[in-house]
Each structure stands twice: as C-alpha cells, then as structure tokens.
Amino acid sequence: MNLSMSGVLLLGVVVFLFFRKDGLKASHALTSSLFGFYLASTAIAPSIKAGGESLASLLGGIKF
C-alpha cells in the first residue's frame, strides 16, 4: 500500500508539472487517467503491477 500510494503521488506530481508547463492539456490528463482506470480492471493489470514492483525494487537497490 505504501509503494502504490507513493507511486500515485509521484505520478500525480508529474502530471501536475506537465499541466503547469503547458506540455499537457487537461483533456490529455483526463484521457490518461481514464485509460489507467480502465487498464487496472483488465487481465493485464497483475502483470503491470508486478513490473512496477520489480522496477521499484531495482531502483531501491541502487546504492550511491
């Protein structure tokens, strides 16, 4: 739950920044949100979640 909330928060900030810089129109943000909402209810959603978790663990394992 913690990882998914921080991921949603991060993506929300990115969308907000794109919107503020005129790189993303409101209609594009709405379309992307609806696409993500409907994609989450498909059969591919567990694979996407597993890929996201794998990427997060990979990035979390990088030592500077």
Tens-digit pLDDT profile for residues 9-42:
777 787 788 778 877 788 888 878 877 887 788 8
pLDDT tops 50 at residue 46: yes
Domain spans of the chain, in order of start: 2-60
pLDDT tops 70 at residue 2: no
- The pTM (predicted TM-score) of the whole model is 0.56
Here the tokens at position 7 are 């991921």
Cα–Cα nearest to 23, from 58, 61, 42, 32: 32
Here the tokens at position 8 are 């949603």
More confident residue, 34 or 55: 55
Which of the four pLDDT bands, split at 50, 70 and 90, describes residue 1?
A: very low
